[in-house]
Structure 1
């Protein structure tokens, strides 16, 4: 499948280029709660929609992390960004790690927010049923969001998150993406990478929390770091936006690799 021109927004004029990739349950609007408070003097952010989401909702594709990675690299090429950092939320972290696997020399720093490991996610049968039927059952999407945020979020917020998810995702693409991010294991492609790699997790997230990161992310990346946000679950952009910005931008700022302008 040929690379696709990912729809995207650009923010900031800073020398450090960053591409932020959304997760499974939303398009690029997942990052909306943090955009107003980013350091746009230090960073220039590109926030795209993956195939099957947002402005790319009707885009034909295989809907896999490897295809998404090729699309992200193509976006960087179109922007003229030779080197850049990556942020990926959940499924988006699988895409970001695939980018690292195919273009390691281009990546300055890698951030996973509640990241799916490069080994995928081994879901027990009952959880697989919950996830695999979420393309057609809104109540499954709601249950997934509720469980992964500790069961403590307001009902109205859960309803809003589900409504957005249904609006911005194509059901077929949504279901197909699941097979890729949950079942593909490519950790041998990134294991031993010396690219600085930060995992930011929420203490209220039972699925993609600190324990899993210690068994995966921290073992595979030679320069790995882990930050746990105590008041957050899986959706830190919504739940603890300022704490997330501080953790991510402090990590990106530590690059020390010059301006990175290109």
Structure 2
């Protein structure tokens, strides 16, 4: 077990503990649009920075989903959280699924917002080049964000998203994360998990689409649910089936909060804490 502690900030003081894990392009500030309207009496949210981002920008590590899952368990121990849920965006959704392999008995509920499947994503050569070079080419980051939000966002917003991404991420570790979330396949280790798992997809997202999640997430998890956000993401041929995702926190924050918190609230006191013991070893 690592002794590294993920930088984090706490919001709320509710009994249901929830980790919020960011995606490839941002640190924990990605969740800022949601903060004013979260239910702070029902939930305590811990927004974290993964290695290579934000407060952990200079942290040494492998920058893999497996390492990040162990980092979350370590932080849960430090916070005194015996059981908790996880909300993960894109790459963060893969991190959440990795928890099913290291601490399934501690995970109450799992939410993936445009989550990368546990099987990773196969990117065609030209798309791989676009994503790999985004580590050191700001114009690639801008192109990915623009395309995966439908080419309809203001230029100033795109520039702000790119500037934030560059400011909060380490170039080398940003690139290392790509190898993990896109190329690692651990789905056989999580198949059959009974942890309730919600996938939230943009209805018109061509990348991490509802159809892809039906073939992966909904097939692997017996207690899985799928919700499509009607206004997040628009189709574009260049990144069809790629790893780009709509940014639901910015595009549809209130709808996202409602869907996610309704799902988390469904975890009643009657659910058996040890229901998942022995799974996903």
Shared topology, TM-score over 0.5? yes
Query: Please, what TM-score do these two structures have when normalized by structure 1?
Result: 0.97
In the other structure, the counterpart of 2:103 is 103
- Structure 1 consecutive aligned stretches of length 4 or more whose deviation exceeds 2 Å: 257-260
Q: Take 2:3 and 2:132, find their aligned partners in 1: how far apart are those partners?
A: 27
CA contact (8 A) 1:149 1:204 kept: no
CA contact (8 A) 1:22 1:91 kept: yes
Query: Does the C-alpha gap of structure 1 residues 212 and 95 become closer, same or farther in structure 2, counting only changes over 3 Å?
Result: same
CA contact (8 A) 1:150 1:206 kept: no
In the other structure, the counterpart of 1:127 is 127
Q: Take 1:50 and 1:113, find their aligned partners in 2: how far apart are those partners?
A: 17
* Structure 1 residue 69 corresponds to structure 2 residue 69: yes
Q: Take 1:3 and 1:92, find their aligned partners in 2: how far apart are those partners?
A: 21
Q: Take 2:228 and 2:258, find their aligned partners in 1: how far apart are those partners?
A: 12
In the other structure, the counterpart of 1:87 is 87
In the other structure, the counterpart of 1:240 is 252
CA contact (8 A) 1:7 1:56 kept: yes
1:160-213 CA distance string (max 9 Å, x none): 100000000000000000000000000011100111000001123211010110
Q: CA deviation at 1:121?
A: 0.8
1:63-93 CA distance string (max 9 Å, x none): 1110111001100010010100010000001
In the other structure, the counterpart of 1:211 is 211
* Structure 1 residue 54 corresponds to structure 2 residue 54: yes
Worse overlay, 124-133 or 152-161 = 152-161
In the other structure, the counterpart of 2:262 is 250
Task: Number of aligned residue pairs: give it.
Answer: 261
Query: Please, what TM-score do these two structures have when normalized by structure 2?
Result: 0.90
CA contact (8 A) 1:150 1:204 kept: no
What are the equivalent positions in structure 2 for 1:75-224 lying under 5 Å apart?
75-224=75-224
Aligned-residue RMSD, C-alpha: 1.5
Q: CA deviation at 1:100?
A: 1.6
